[in-house]
Amino acid sequence: MLVEIPFLYLRHGETDWNVARRMQGTTDVPLNATGIAQAQAARERLRGVAIATIVSSPLRRAYDTARIVNEAHGREIVVLDDLRECGFGPREGGTAGPWYRDWLAGVTPEGVEPYDRFLDRSLAAINAALALPGPVLIVAHGGVYWAVQHHGRLDRDWKLPNAMPVHHEPPDAAFPGWRARVLDGAPD
């Protein structure tokens, strides 16, 4: 179960492998120029937003995004290893094919982290991040966000954009489900 407190989530900025639609997994692909600009734009969107703790995946694309955003906040960045992207093993660098649909359905290719274990690992890491002083900003990966979508019962078909912060509100008496709102800089 997802710990029921408000939090912010930010997927890392774009990489060249995102553009090529290659499976990054745990391969440590850096941000490209667009990804750096996206992280800088996220920094400005989050400037003035209360953030007590920034928690990041150890992978460079997420950590560098967190570092750029943190220029507006001056917090220590806490790195949680289990916020890393899914391990796709020998499939990293390739594209998603029929094996990927099978993997989502529970058929795991050799050397690939099983989908259900990945979601469990991601949820545990998110909950560990949310145990830190809040408000918490989690900077990680699109795949890690699937745990939020799954356990928060959010739209699982929505693809989290690169470096677009999302604010999450837990269920309450007025609204029985999780709410997610993109902080795109537009007025509410």
- Dihedral (Cα; 43, 55, 111, 146), 10-degree rounding: -70
Distance set, CA 181 to CA 5, 10, 23, 108, 117 (Å): 15, 12, 27, 33, 27
CA dihedral 87, 26, 135, 159 (to 10 degrees): -70
10, 142 in Cβ contact below 8 A? Answer: no
Distance CA 43, CA 11 (A): 13
| 3-state DSSP assignment of residue 48 | coil
Residues belonging to the active site: 12, 85
Q: How far is CA 185 from the centre of its chain?
A: 19
Element (H or E) spanning 117, and its range? Answer: helix 115-130
